[in-house]
């Protein structure tokens, strides 16, 4: 491509990158991509923006953007324009790569619906609640199955004062439905639960720049227990039995939590004595699959698979995350700290759950200590350790307890305690025999 | 959701009497076999005695076939290059011994409409007798639950899947039972499964005189065999060997040998249980009088 033909592209890149790169350098870069490496022009532009632009956006320059209504957004848009009214807006300071950074986020909507948005590079324009704007070159992502609109360094916001827009009435969900705690799952709106307060604590938090007091703890009935957060002081005390009306469920990493907001009503009821043994919240994996997740759940089943990443691993000394091939994904080449862990799949015949077992419990379950594993690794290599450990645990029956969360690949548990299960064969077989005989 | 498929606990009788398949219609969609009691199986966990194994592939690219026998019958397993861990493991396991295996099921139907189910283990490991017994208990419980649920569904008349879920079944159970009852076109043979549970409980509770009212059916109860006393045993064994040799000759119509299924059926008619047949044919093989051209045939030399 000759230089004259490059000019429009260079101009386009300059618009995007501003003063991050001068024209001469830009031309040289573009030449390198196009003439040395024979990359096509679109890929070349993408690459250059990647290299010189801000890295906290995953957008690419792709032709013209589309205009979409809020309800048409799928969460996979790379470049989309939205004309919408600001329903709610707030400025936040976050820490990105150790540097404090201002962002603007809130909710925008049009006549088809509302969606949350984030402006990662707030410019001069100050968004006013109730005003209509044109949000240009946005990209969308899915978070918890909900679309989020993002404006990165290419995003632009233009006032669209001339446009009048009516938003749909906020839908008030139907009457509150009574539900057992064991049946609570993600996404439920308005619920009423009755249970006993197992624990409660008062915490000060800062939400949207405001000091707030929340009361959080655990409440249980005969089917399960759940973490609650009360945003007002209902005078909740440990041990009392409550009927909580108009609470809503929000999930954190797949673990449902009971939120008591402004519309929530709390009344004292007769003491509930029949609550789950909170030290023993045993579930089948099928039940967990239906609920999504929960706290301190116990599962009994068989180890049917041992995944990659079991055995000796190295953790990054800065972030404690496991490293891959001697490098941390965020901190690069670091001197890792040796650790031992298991990543297994446990199956109880009703479903399968992934479980990550820490060093102590890995040592307990397999009888292989980190020290012994290191010894073995120094003689025969670390892959042998993985095989050794796999051999010790595969097809063994275990009981594990921990917090469970779910994603697209099903539920998984961070194990807090684990043991090899001992089955009283004679007792259980006799019980089955009695049951079968009685029914014949 | 791409949640991992459950490893069902199902006895050989139930798996081998399954003829219903839900075939994948799209890429990445799993296939299932639905048992007469409504187990919707993609993956299965089996244990038992690995009675035989054979490399029908080559030295470089092994393809292992084997049989794992539980209290009720045998599972047929295939391990090839797509199951590298199981392939490496089975090479080191010598039959007979107790094993546990987890893998996916496959079915194939012959030209004359018979369905065979095989298991392709992802993992196979040697276990001890206690672990095997734990599996028997778990599988007996699970079989009993499906049997109970099936009976309950039959008593509920025209219950929909939703009715069943409302009545406390899981969505998978409700689907499986409804699908099985709708598509098998006949009631499951509850006697067969009760007999299997009886055999399981006898194994687990040798001191209790477990009797659920089913006849001592040798073919279903390989572990209940009482071998005759010393001298007599020799005679009997020799007689049995002759009977089997005759039978092999009779059934070898095309020179390929006697089909195992046919052989088992005929032997049973003559009062020889499958486990006795197994023992006798092993003896004959040891004596060099018969051999297995492949796993499904036995041929007189």
pLDDT, one tens digit per residue, over A203-241 is: 888 776 778 888 999 898 888 888 899 988 898 999 899
Q: Which of B192, B224, B256 is the last residue of a domain?
A: B224
Q: Scanning every residue of chain B, which has its alpha carbon at the shortest distance from the alpha carbon of A437?
A: B212
Measured N-to-C along each axis, helices A370-380 and A382-393 cross at an angle, to the nearest 10 degrees, of 130
Q: In this structure, are B116 and B186 located in the same domain?
A: yes
Q: In this structure, are B182 and B295 located in the same domain?
A: no
- Report, as an integer, the average pLDDT of A63-86: 83
Contact criterion met (CB < 8 Å) for B212 and A429:
no
- Interface predicted TM-score (ipTM): 0.72
A54 pLDDT above the threshold of 70: no
Flag the least confident range among A265-279, A303-317, B248-262: A265-279
Q: Scanning every residue of chain B, which has its alpha carbon at the shortest distance from the alpha carbon of A425?
A: B134
Q: Which of A395, A397, A433 sits opposite B205 (nearest CB)?
A: A433
Contact criterion met (CB < 8 Å) for A352 and B4:
yes
A56 pLDDT above the threshold of 50: no
Give the pLDDT band of residue A253 (cuts 50, 70, 90): low
Q: In this structure, are B84 and B173 located in the same domain?
A: yes
Question: Where are chain A's structural domains?
Answer: 3-52, 66-159, 177-276, 282-420
Residues of chain A neighbouring B210 (CB-CB closer than 8 A): 433
Q: In this structure, are B106 and B161 located in the same domain?
A: yes
Q: In this structure, are B143 and B240 located in the same domain?
A: no
Q: What per-residue confidence (pLDDT) applies to B236?
A: 62
Residues of chain A neighbouring B134 (CB-CB closer than 8 A): 397, 423, 425
Alpha carbon of B223: minimum distance to chain A alpha carbons (Å): 17
B120 pLDDT above the threshold of 50: yes
* Helices (H) then strands (E): counts for chain B: 9, 12
Q: What per-residue confidence (pLDDT) applies to B89?
A: 93
The residue among B4, B46, B97, B175 with the most chain A CBs within 10 A of its CB, best to mutate, is: B4
Q: Scanning every residue of chain A, which has its alpha carbon at the shortest distance from the alpha carbon of B7?
A: A349
- Report, as an integer, the average pLDDT of B119-128: 95
Give the pLDDT band of residue A37 (cuts 50, 70, 90): confident
Q: What per-residue confidence (pLDDT) applies to A169?
A: 61
A135 pLDDT above the threshold of 50: yes
- Report, as an integer, the average pLDDT of B83-110: 91
Give yes or no on whether A66-159 and A177-276 have one common fold: yes
- Report, as an integer, the average pLDDT of A248-252: 80
Q: What per-residue confidence (pLDDT) applies to B222?
A: 38
Domain enclosing residue B46, as ranges? 1-224
HEC assignment per residue over A105-116: EEEEEECCEEEE
Average pLDDT for chain A: 85
The CATH number given to whatever domain includes residue B194 is: 2.40.50.140
**Predicted structure pTM score:** 0.62
Query: Contact at 8 Å (CB) between A244 and A264?
Result: yes
Residues B176-229: tens digit of each pLDDT? 999 999 999 888 888 999 999 999 999 999 988 888 888 755 444 333 333 333
B8 pLDDT above the threshold of 80: yes
Alpha carbon of A144: minimum distance to chain B alpha carbons (Å): 13
B57 pLDDT above the threshold of 60: yes
B234 pLDDT above the threshold of 70: no
Domain count, chain B: 2
Q: What per-residue confidence (pLDDT) applies to A293?
A: 82
HEC assignment per residue over A157-206: EEECCCCCCCCCCCCCCCCCEECCHHHCCCCCCEEEEEEEEEEEEEEEEE
Neighbours of A274 (CB within 10 A): 9
Q: Tell the CATH topology of A66-159.
A: OB fold (Dihydrolipoamide Acetyltransferase, E2P) (2.40.50)
Q: Which residues of A touch B (CB under 8 A)?
A: 285-286, 289-290, 302, 304-305, 345, 347, 349-352, 354, 391, 394-397, 408-411, 423, 425-426, 428-430, 432-433, 435-437, 439-440
Q: Which of B102, B142, B148 sits opposite A304 (nearest CB)?
A: B102
Average pLDDT for chain B: 85
pLDDT above 90 covers a percentage of chain B that reads 47
Q: What per-residue confidence (pLDDT) applies to B221?
A: 38
Neighbours of A389 (CB within 10 A): 24
The token pair that represents A160 in the structure block: 């669209």
Alpha carbon of A431: minimum distance to chain B alpha carbons (Å): 10
Q: What are phi and psi of A150, to 5 degrees?
A: -125, 140
Flag the least confident range among A53-67, A401-415, B108-122, B177-191: A53-67
A246-260, A354-368, A372-386, range with greatest mean pLDDT: A354-368
CATH class for the region spanning A282-420: mainly beta
Q: Which of B191, B224, B257 is the last residue of a domain?
A: B224
Q: In this structure, are B244 and B288 located in the same domain?
A: yes
Neighbours of B110 (CB within 10 A): 8
pLDDT above 70 covers a percentage of chain A that reads 92
Q: What per-residue confidence (pLDDT) applies to B232?
A: 36
Q: Tell the CATH topology of A177-276.
A: OB fold (Dihydrolipoamide Acetyltransferase, E2P) (2.40.50)
Give the pLDDT band of residue A282 (cuts 50, 70, 90): confident
Q: In this structure, are B121 and B203 located in the same domain?
A: yes
Q: In this structure, are B138 and B247 located in the same domain?
A: no
- Report, as an integer, the average pLDDT of A369-373: 94
Q: In this structure, are B55 and B107 located in the same domain?
A: yes
Alpha carbon of A390: minimum distance to chain B alpha carbons (Å): 11
Residues B22-50: tens digit of each pLDDT? 988 887 788 999 999 999 999 999 999 99
The residue among A289, A429, A435, A439 with the most chain B CBs within 10 A of its CB, best to mutate, is: A429
Q: In this structure, are B265 and B220 located in the same domain?
A: no
Q: Which residues of B touch A (CB under 8 A)?
A: 1-9, 45, 100, 102, 122-123, 125, 127, 130-131, 133-134, 137-138, 140-142, 144, 148, 170, 172, 194, 197, 201, 204-205, 208, 210, 212-213
- Report, as an integer, the average pLDDT of A174-184: 77
Q: Which of B188, B206, B224 is the last residue of a domain?
A: B224
Residues A333-343: tens digit of each pLDDT? 889 899 999 99
A179 pLDDT above the threshold of 60: yes
Alpha carbon of A429: minimum distance to chain B alpha carbons (Å): 6
Query: Contact at 8 Å (CB) between A82 and A135?
Result: yes
Q: What percent helix, strand, coil does chain A show, rounded to 5?
A: 25, 40, 35
Contact criterion met (CB < 8 Å) for B205 and A352:
no
Residues A90-106: tens digit of each pLDDT? 888 887 777 888 889 88
Position with higher pLDDT, A415 vs B285: A415
Q: In this structure, are B251 and B156 located in the same domain?
A: no
Q: What per-residue confidence (pLDDT) applies to B17?
A: 92
B70 pLDDT above the threshold of 60: yes
The residue among B5, B10, B137 with the most chain A CBs within 10 A of its CB, best to mutate, is: B137
Q: In this structure, are B137 and B276 located in the same domain?
A: no
Query: Contact at 8 Å (CB) between B299 and B257?
Result: yes
């Amino acid at each position: 491509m000759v230089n004259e033909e490059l000019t429009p592209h260079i101009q386009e890149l300059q618009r995007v990158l501003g003063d991050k790169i001068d024209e001469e350098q830009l031309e040289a870069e573009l030449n390198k991509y196009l003439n040395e490496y024979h990359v096509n022009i679109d890929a070349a532009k993408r690459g250059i923006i990647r290299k010189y632009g801000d890295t906290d956006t995953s957008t690419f320059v792709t032709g013209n953007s589309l205009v979409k209504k809020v309800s048409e957004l799928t969460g996979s848009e790379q470049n989309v324009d939205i004309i919408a009214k600001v329903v709610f807006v707030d400025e936040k300071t976050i820490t990105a790569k150790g540097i404090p950074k201002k962002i603007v986020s809130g909710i925008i909507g049009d006549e088809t619906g509302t969606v949350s948005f984030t402006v990662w590079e707030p410019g001069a324009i100050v968004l006013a609640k109730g005003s209509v704007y044109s949000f240009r070159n946005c990209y969308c992502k899915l978070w918890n199955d909900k679309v989020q609109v993002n404006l990165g360094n290419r995003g632009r916001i233009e006032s669209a004062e001339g446009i009048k827009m009516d938003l749909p009435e906020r839908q008030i969900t139907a009457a509150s439905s009574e539900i057992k705690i064991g049946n609570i799952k993600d996404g439920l709106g308005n619920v009423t639960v009755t249970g006993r307060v197992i624990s409660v604590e008062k915490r000060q938090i800062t939400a949207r720049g405001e000091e707030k007091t929340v009361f959080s703890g655990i409440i249980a009935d005969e089917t399960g227990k759940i973490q609650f957060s009360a945003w007002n002081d209902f005078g909740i005390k440990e041990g009392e039995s409550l009927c909580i009306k108009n609470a809503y469920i929000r999930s954190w990493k797949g673990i449902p939590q009971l939120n008591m907001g402004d519309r929530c009503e709390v009344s004292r009821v007769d003491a509930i004595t029949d609550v789950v043994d909170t030290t023993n919240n045993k579930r089948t994996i099928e039940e967990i699959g239906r609920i999504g997740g929960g706290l301190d759940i116990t599962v009994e089943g068989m180890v049917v698979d041992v995944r990659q990443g079991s055995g000796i691993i190295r953790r990054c000394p800065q972030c404690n995350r496991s490293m891959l091939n001697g490098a941390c994904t965020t901190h690069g080449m670091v001197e890792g700290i040796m650790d031992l862990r298991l990543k297994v799949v446990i199956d109880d015949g009703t479903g399968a759950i992934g479980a990550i077992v820490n060093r102590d419990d890995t040592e307990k379950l397999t009888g292989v200590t980190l020290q012994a594993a290191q010894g073995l690794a120094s003689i025969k290599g670390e892959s042998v350790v993985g095989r050794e450990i796999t051999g010790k645990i595969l097809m063994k029956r275990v009981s594990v307890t921990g917090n469970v969360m779910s994603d697209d690949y099903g539920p998984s548990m961070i194990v807090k305690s684990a043991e090899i299960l001992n089955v009283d064969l004679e007792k259980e077989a006799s019980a089955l025999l009695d049951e079968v005989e009685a029914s014949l | 959701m791409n949640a991992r498929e459950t490893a069902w606990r199902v006895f050989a009788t139930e798996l081998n009497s399954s003829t219903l398949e839900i075939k994948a219609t799209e890429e990445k969609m799993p296939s299932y076999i639905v048992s007469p009691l409504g187990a919707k199986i993609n993956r299965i966990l089996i244990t038992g005695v690995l009675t035989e194994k054979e490399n029908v592939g080559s030295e470089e690219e092994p393809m292992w076939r084997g049989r794992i026998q539980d209290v009720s019958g045998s599972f047929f397993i295939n391990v090839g290059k797509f199951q590298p861990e199981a392939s490496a493991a089975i090479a080191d396991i010598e039959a007979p011994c107790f094993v546990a295996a987890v893998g996916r099921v496959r079915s194939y139907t012959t030209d004359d409409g018979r369905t065979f189910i095989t298991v392709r283990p992802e993992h196979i490991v040697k276990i001890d007798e206690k672990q095997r017994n734990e599996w028997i208990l778990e599988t007996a419980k699970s079989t009993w639950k499906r049997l109970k649920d099936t009976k309950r569904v039959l008593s509920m008349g025209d219950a929909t899947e939703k009715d069943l879920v409302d009545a406390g079944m899981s969505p998978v159970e409700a689907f499986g039972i409804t699908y099985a009852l709708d598509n098998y076109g006949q009631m499951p043979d509850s006697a067969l499964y009760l007999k299997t549970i009886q055999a399981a409980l006898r194994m687990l509770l040798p001191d209790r005189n477990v009797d659920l009212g089913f006849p001592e059916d040798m073919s279903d109860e390989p572990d209940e065999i009482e071998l005759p006393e010393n001298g007599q045993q020799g005679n009997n064994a020799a007689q049995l060997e002759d009977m089997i040799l005759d039978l092999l000759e009779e059934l070898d119509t095309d020179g390929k040998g006697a089909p195992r299924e046919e052989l088992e059926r005929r032997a049973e008619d003559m009062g020889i249980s499958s486990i006795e047949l197994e023992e006798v044919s092993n003896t004959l093989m040891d004596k060099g009088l018969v051999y297995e051209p492949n796993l499904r045939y036995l041929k007189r030399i």
